[in-house]
Structure 1
């Protein structure tokens, strides 16, 4: 005896490969499908509709298949309202809670589809009501769930809409077709990234730069500082190391004890890193160091001088750390999440761990560019779920100056 449910797919499901992927999921998971209705869009802007019955041996198997199909944008036909259960205690979600994707998501409550606020991967969906009893659905990380929260469970009453890539390659980010390549023409891509940054700026949007220490080592620090000072970067997300190397470059002319101009090792240069931390701590922090004239150039200087907010998230590896570094990982994660939710365009610049951390907080509709000399960095970001990212495998010390020249000259 088999069990079955009918699902629907609609949109550019052929061009984007969604339909074929969904059919493959059913077969790979031991199920079967039967197409009941199939209407193909007959020009490049037309959408395709597919209605199919999915069959499995058991309810458990069927539910697993439906979950995977849901993540790809398939919707159960004739849906019911979402199933809600109260969280039993703080930080604990009900069994079979719905684990989110970072795609635009809708939840059916009181017979109406409610758009989920701030979509983010690997979260729970919580339904709240305002004073007028109107429902609101939002994502919550598990540690933020409170006892009594109404949490969405199962797959019923949930609709996911993955971003599509129409045949003409258009959409919100025309050149962003995903994947990783070092063969793409860097100059033309940089021109398009610059154009996106201009458009974001003209529309009072927000560009977030996720920065790794290699920016300073490779010689891209001054160009990034110029972009911050010129108003093309609206927020910085980095670790303790990036800020320390940037400040060390200003105070001592070195980065990790190496002169970035002539690559020489000054006497006692290996101490400059920790001396920098000590000096900034003595002054009370980065802002105080700028105000007292001790720090007068670089990325952190431009952030303070131009009121550009920054989040420095600490790690177990940090020396010091700087007074401005957030050492509580949950607090740092929440601060990164606020930045991510405000961003319209994210530049991930030569940092694997920070790129993945910020990527985890981004909705799939946020334009994302990841630049690193190591293709594994971009690949891991894409594999982790940030499928909207375009990857450029190139030297960060070449990329940022080229981007600066394109925007400022």
Structure 2
């Protein structure tokens, strides 16, 4: 049997790290002995554990250790990282370390270097001249880059659930459910928003077209105008139907005030795109007086950046939409590392895409009427996301009111 000692430290019981460790070892056909375990008694105390992990082959042992590393378990007697050169552009050496979105350090020349720009499913590149470590997606890898291979010298720090009483917004505190009291959740979310803005933090908003269809785009526009949103990520649809509302009062041809079908309204979104094309861009449409209200209008007027990423099903698209997915990802990466909180509202694909780019330290809220949207985020590693299963047309006005409940008359 091959063996290796591992160490756990922190709120390993409250955050389920210790039980997860046992599950991973046993599910992968390994075994373990407990060398030492110390359980913190007070709320501020941390717990510690040492285990010896056994496996019948070095390959299976490394597989187990790799999975344990991803949840923040440390390998005892750790050595410096192993580096290999990338053999070609966009090609990684075999056995490269695949990152999580948790804070990660690597041991290089006797120093623990924090891996900058961390996100999941990427590689770690060491700049030997600067002695710095960077997280890089596959598309950004260049021939000759020094890549971290294996798990030696890699330390992952996962967010922990604090001991004692917590609110709905605490990490890993909530299962996906539509049966939870909405107001208590919204109160916690509003408090988090206020805390983030009070310390000068930045909030991103990821939105889908249901925001327009429900008439909630007016609320998002006000949040932008009042400085609650610092960057917006969306697709062609949210922007198109927001502009359709501003120009025609309809979304997908439905009057947003009355809910009635408008004659020939099915063409309004295409006419909206055509109108923006005539101006040249969304910004130019605002400047020439064509576009006078809505989400996109407030983004331009308040100099708030936005990234519109296209898809194969887009009509048009609008001239501002980035149709190259890699280019859109890179544009989004300019902002995600500076974000302190993010709202993912009524858009499964964009929510998952942004979730994959976010460090786990970012406070995240996913709002969707479909529980599977929130579940898919958690299944892909974004366990820090607070899921709210409700209609966005109801959620956003309630959140807005909660943010302003202490305002003086």
Q: What is the TM-score when the length of structure 2 is the normalising length?
A: 0.96
Specify which of 143, 150, 156 is matched with residue 146 of structure 2: 150
- Aligned residue for 2:308? 312
- Residue number in structure 2 paired with 1:287: 283
1:376 counterpart = 2:375: no
Matched, 1:80 2:76: no
SS of the aligned residue for 1:180 comes to coil
Question: Paired residue for 2:11?
Answer: 12
- Residues 337 and 358, structure 1, Cα contact 8 Å, conserved in 2: no
Is residue 101–residue 358 contact of structure 2 (8 Å, CA) maintained in 1?
Answer: yes
SS of the equivalent of 1:275 reads: helix
Assess if the C-alpha contact under 8 Å between 2:167 and 2:188 holds in 1.
Answer: no
Q: Which stretch shows the higher mean deviation, 156-165 or 196-205?
A: 196-205
Q: Determine helix, strand or coil for the equivalent of 2:399.
A: helix
In 2, distance between residues paired with 1:172 and 1:20?
A: 23
- CA distance in structure 2 between the partners assigned to 1:64 and 1:333 by the alignment: 30
Q: Pick from 197, 205, 216 the counterpart of residue 209 of structure 1.
A: 205
Q: Is the 8 A contact 2:176 2:371 kept in 1?
A: yes
Q: Say if 2:385 is the partner of 1:386.
A: no
**What are the within-5 Å matches in structure 2 for residues 6-405 of structure 1?**
6-130=5-129, 134-169=130-165, 174=170, 177-405=173-401
Instruction: Return the alpha-carbon distance in structure 1 between the equivalents of residues 79 and 319 of structure 2.
Output: 52
TM-aligned CA deviation for residue 229 of structure 1: 0.5
| Distance in 1, Cα, partners of 2:75 & 2:302 | 50
Alpha-carbon distance in 1 for matches of 2:126, 2:100: 17
Report the Cα distance in structure 2 between the residues aligned to 1:311 and 1:27, rounded to whole angstroms.
44
Alpha-carbon RMSD across the aligned residues, in angstroms, is 1.4
* Deviations 1:127-186, CA, capped at 9 Å, x for gaps: 1134xxx41111100110111111000111111111110222559954762431222221
1:172-230: CA deviations, max 9, x gaps? 95476243122222112212211221222222211100000000101211111111101
Equivalent pair of 2:172/2:383 in contact (CA under 8 Å) = no
Q: Deviations for 1:226-247, whole angstroms, at most 9, x for unmatched residues?
A: 1110111111100000000000
Whether the aligned pair in 1 keeps the contact of 2:241 and 2:252 (CA below 8 Å) is yes
SS in structure 2 at match of 1:181: coil
Does the CA contact (< 8 Å) of 2:11 and 2:160 recur in 1? yes
Q: Deviations over 1:63-86 (max 9, x none)?
A: 111111111111110110010000
1:178, 1:388 within 8 Å by CA — same for their partners in 2? Answer: no
Q: 1:175 to 1:82 in 2, by over 3 A?
A: closer
SS in 1 for 2:183: helix
Preserved CA contact (<8 Å) 2:90 2:141: yes
Provide the secondary structure at the position in 2 that maps to 1:159: strand
Report deviation, 1:275: 0.5
The TM-score normalised by the length of structure 1 is 0.96
Report the Cα distance in structure 2 between the residues aligned to 1:276 and 1:17, rounded to whole angstroms: 51
Contact 1:99 1:124 in 2 (8 A): yes
Contact (CA 8 Å) 2:171, 2:385: kept in 1 or not? no
Tell me the CA shift for residue 338 of structure 1: 2.0
The answer to whether the 8 A contact 2:95-2:149 is kept is yes
| Structure 1 residue 256: Cα displacement | 0.8
Deviation at 1:403, TM superposition (A): 1.2
Could you list the runs of 5+ residues in structure 2 that have no partner in the other structure?
none
Distance between the aligned counterparts of 1:263 and 1:120, measured in 2? 42
Give the distance between the partners of 2:267 and 2:165, measured in 1 at CA.
Answer: 51
Segments of structure 1 that go 5 or more residues without pairing to the other structure are none
Segments ≥4 residues shifted beyond 4 Å: 169-173
